Structure 1
Amino acid sequence: MTNLMWKAMPWLKGPMTFAACFLSIFGTTLQAEQLRVLTSMPPSFYQPFVTAFGARFPDVEVAMLNKNTNASVDELLRGNERQFDVFWSSSPEAFELLLQNGHLAVSETSGAPEVYSFAYSALGWTQKRSGPAAKTAGWDALLSSDRTGTIAMARPSRSGSTHMMLERTLQVRGWQEGWAYLLELAGNLSTITARSFTVLDGVANGRFDVGLTIDFLAHARTEDNLAFVYGTPVMVTPARVGILAGGNAPTAARHFVDFVISDAGQRLLTAPDIARTPHSASIRAEATAPYHQVLEDALTLNWLEYDAALASERYWAVNALFDAFVFEVFETRREAWRRLRALEAQREAPTVEMHRIRRLLTSIPIGEADVGNEGQTTSGNAFATLSDQQKDSVQSWRTASQRSLHEADSLLRVLEQRVAQDVVRD
């Protein structure tokens, strides 16, 4: 009898094939059909699904490769050379990019792309639980000067959920107001991590107080005494699973996706060690965890849907702008905010110069209409190899970022010297 075997595959380099890797692990020739799943989900999420699927389809071997969403999209857009069969992610815009570039399989019966919502998610932050935890809170609470140096987030170009947080901010607040919020938030950051999981680890071990994250990652860490707070307004986004074009096991892929969206698969989502809100309304009705009601209320209000198509059109551009205006100048920007707040604390009312500095630190001189074409991925290697236009844009954005920070620094120096002189006179 052939039993299902799963393996969370590390990042594979060189020409080594999945079959060769399994041969090296198990030392035998594989006879069963092999299903290759590319996902940004952690093993704690997908292992129960693989086990339950294996009980139903023992002649299918499931090879899981965990890779962050942006790197996954990059690989698939470059041609899916390793012939993954299924893509599984919480980022709806990732599927929009794959759809636009023809990398999703199409149903032979309906002609529709083979992508399906399986869960709902929303964004907020996690912190150590101390007494009754708030279920929701306004995002502006994170801008308080009391939060300086206490907040962590992942780099959006390395984390699909953090990219979604950027887009959510831009869509709710508008382009310029959204960037103003993000640039001021940068002044309160302790660090920018490489992966979403590291944010949770840092809060758990006390490295920082607040970690921006997606809900299910925090809900599954109850053993670390973490509480999750949904940022209001709560914008709910669907997590998806899709069958990829060019895979080797389309039938097994169909069985796997069908299981994920079946009642049995949806019920798995409500287990405490997975802690996700199912897409199925009937299964959601069975769920009892308090956070399910927060998302249910948000779905009922439905005041603003997350525009995944818009996000996909400027996917690269939004990440590149964040890198140019926050990540690459992180220490400089954070220090500028520290200096401005120190000056503001010494004055009963902000001066004209302080208002000007604040404008420089919260403005991005790139219009929303200027990034649409930059964000579209119309060629297979657009993520891996930038076009000449993209390279020119990156350089232009870096120059604009450095110019605004230099001007802010000059104004800060003038004010600091003035304050020092006032102190001497007093």
Structure 2
Amino acid sequence: MTKPFRTLTWLIAVLCSNPAIAKEKLTVLTAYHEDVVSRYETAFEQAYPDIDLAVIWKMPHDALPYLSRPQQSGVDVYWSASLRNFLALKQQGAWQKLGIDRGGLADKLGAMPLIDSDGYFCVTEMAGYGFAVNPDYLQKHNLELPKTWQDLADARYQGHLALPIPSRVGFAPMMIDSVLQQYGWDQGWALLSGIVANTRLVESGATFITDIVGSGERGIAPSIDFFTASAIANGAPLRFIHSQPTAYSPAHIAIAKASQHSDAARRFVNFILSETGQKLLFHPDIRKLPARAAVYADKPGNYFDPFAESAEHPVVYDPNRALPRLALNNALFDRLFTDRLQRLQNLWQQLRKHQRFAKTDQVERLLKIRQLLTAVPINTAQAETPSVQQIFTDRSTDKKAEAAAQALEQAWRNEIDSRYSDAENLLKQLEP
């Protein structure tokens, strides 16, 4: 054996036998965009050169079955903005407890939990709901910046809004439910009716919403902050206003129970939640809201601080409460508004016209018309019934659930049409 060959053999033996030199592989499953993942990958491997980070990219609907396979498909860490997946996998016993030091991390932001009640996963960042606005458009039409959802229902915004349909736009269902949680079931749907009266309903995704406002076709669109920030970075003449109080869509992180690299996984989780990891969220290519309050002391100028905002306007939205009824909400929104948009808007327009010139003896009738336009065909108790919620959740995979959902929807249609007909008749009686 020649000397160079003996040296090479010795080096290979040393590398294979020395754990300080041989890298440990850590597999992270995520839905984050490459711009986000690459920055964290680089920073983590610089901090932990002994760990080789392997990243698998899957959208939430693909991630759930992937993580449900034997040995969880070799994944060590799941890091994504899909609370439904984290909860479903928790039910399967798929997580091990995080077991990390949470010093400096709050357990709640107002009503929103920042850590699972049993310690299996926690929030790593948030995106805030609010309003994408075109300042030039608002100035042209002499409109004020909206601050609350109630502002959007004002008659002065009629024809100036764009709103995503929750059954067809991914981020919208939880945003709509945040209105229901903030204002209550009946008042929330009544408020949404007034907002829809002012709105163009949009079927496409969030980018299309910002395009509509950026082009000046409409002046305001409820949206999510980082979508708007991305549009602004690409030159759109927009501004984002976080609603008061603000609701948030959180991202979470968990360690797989089947992980063979638990210590390395905890180092990754700790890094994501560390000041260094959290400050990466401020980067112009990421623009998310950190879950560690202290890092906002070093935030870029005009960067939104959810902890400071919640001190003034406490968060009332809890995404955990929303999940069971999102499918029901989507169906109800479509039966109330999407299917009857033109009819509803015509009724609101007539109502508002009469309200401007109402005589004393017409006030009670106008109030009755408003009640007919804002009532919902299912009350709070029914909407919170687990068996009713499950019908709509299961309808896409269960024929019996689909039949039950269709029967309920038909009853809703009948009641809605009856109320709108009554409103039309009452409006005719107000005509001279």
TM-score (norm 2): 0.72
Mark the CA change 1:383 to 1:297 in structure 2 (over 3 Å): closer, same or farther: farther
Amino acid at match of 2:198: N
Which shows bigger deviation, 75-84 or 262-271? 75-84
Question: Quick check: 2:128–2:225 contact (8 Å CA) kept in 1?
Answer: yes
Structure 1 counterpart of 2:123, one-letter code:
S
Q: 1:118 aligns with which of 118, 124, 134?
A: 124
Alignment of 1:14-413 (within 5 A): 35=27, 37-39=29-31, 45-46=36-37, 48-50=39-41, 52=43, 59-65=52-58, 67=59, 72=60, 76=64, 80=68, 83=73, 85=75, 87-90=78-81, 92=83, 94=84, 97-98=87-88, 101-102=91-92, 104-107=94-97, 114-130=120-136, 137-223=147-233, 224-235=236-247, 238-243=250-255, 257-293=269-305, 295-301=306-312, 303-345=314-356, 347-348=358-359, 350-372=362-384, 373-374=386-387, 382=394, 384-386=396-398, 388-389=400-401, 391-412=403-424
Inter-partner Cα distance in structure 2 for 1:243 and 1:387: 35
Q: Tell me how far 1:173 sits from its aligned partner.
A: 1.1
**Structure 2 unpaired stretches of 5+:** 1-23, 101-116
Q: What is the TM-score with the length of structure 1 in the denominator?
A: 0.73
Offset at residue 175 of structure 1 (A):
1.2
1:313, distance to aligned residue in structure 2 (A): 3.2
- 1:15 corresponds in structure 2 to none
Q: 1:375 to 1:299 in 2, by over 3 A?
A: farther
* Whole-angstrom distance in 1 between the partners of 2:391 and 2:94: 15
Deviation of 1:157 (Å): 3.2
CA contact (8 A) 2:186 2:376 kept: yes
When residues 418 and 375 of structure 1 are mapped into structure 2, their CA distance, relative to the original with a 3 A threshold, is: closer
SS of residue paired to 1:272: coil
The amino acid of 2:88's aligned partner reads L
Question: Is the Cα contact below 8 Å between 2:161 and 2:220 reproduced in 1?
Answer: yes
> Using the alignment, how far apart are the partners of 1:302 and 1:308 within structure 2?
17
Query: Hey, what does 2:14 align to over in structure 1?
Result: none
Between the aligned partners of 1:384 and 1:323, the Cα distance in structure 2 is 16
Residue pair 1:315, 1:375 contacting (<8 A) in 2 also: no
CA distance in 2, matches of 1:205, 1:50: 36
In the alignment, the residues of structure 2 paired with residue 159 and residue 89 of structure 1 have an alpha-carbon distance, to the nearest angstrom, of 18
CA distance, structure 1, for counterparts of residue 55 and residue 239 of structure 2: 33
Q: SS at the partner of 1:269?
A: helix
Write out per-residue CA displacement over residues 231-264 of structure 1, whole angstroms, 9 at most, x where no aligned residue: 1123456432334667999888666544432333
Report how far residue 364 of structure 1 moved. 0.7
Give ranges in structure 1 of 5+ residues lacking alignment: 1-31
Report if aligned partners of 2:134, 2:238 keep a CA contact under 8 Å in 1.
yes
Contact in 2 for aligned 1:122/1:214 (Cα 8 Å)? yes
Q: Aligned with 1:290: secondary structure?
A: coil
Structure 1 pair 233–34 and aligned structure 2 pair: CA distance change class (3 A): closer
* SS of residue in 1 equivalent to 2:57: strand
- The CA deviation at 1:404 is 2.1
Give the RMSD, CA atoms, in angstroms.
Answer: 4.0
